Amino acid sequence: MHIEATETFIRLYRKLPEEIKTKARKSLEFLASNPSHPSLGHKKMAGQKDIFEIRVSQNYRITYQRVGDTAYLRKIGTHDLLRDP
């Protein structure tokens, strides 16, 4: 899967602690190579047509919109931030 980051994702990513950034990069590597990898906890977001969520850590998630074979990264943050994907 091809991955592209939105400006919003980049802005949120830059504010993260280094430990979470490292975990996020690993999760994105898995998303690119194997979106079904069990550690991602990959799932479609409730009430959303083509927006998905993957796990970065116990508290952090990434949301993305799938268009064809491209994942457009939308947001990264805690569950509270991601209530509006």
- Residue 79: its pLDDT value, please? 74
CATH number at residue 27: 3.30.2310.20
Identity of residue 8:
T
Give, for all 85 residues of the chain, the pLDDT tens digit.
899 999 999 999 999 999 999 999 999 999 999 988 888 988 888 877 889 999 999 899 999 999 988 999 999 998 776 666 5
Of 54, 46, 43, the closest CA to residue 83 belongs to 46
Its domain, for residue 72, covers: 2-83
How far is residue 63's CA from residue 82's CA, in Å, rounded to a whole number?
8
State how far Cα 71 lies from the chain centre: 9
Count other Cβ atoms within 10 Å, centred on residue 69. Answer: 7
How many domains would you assign to the chain? 1
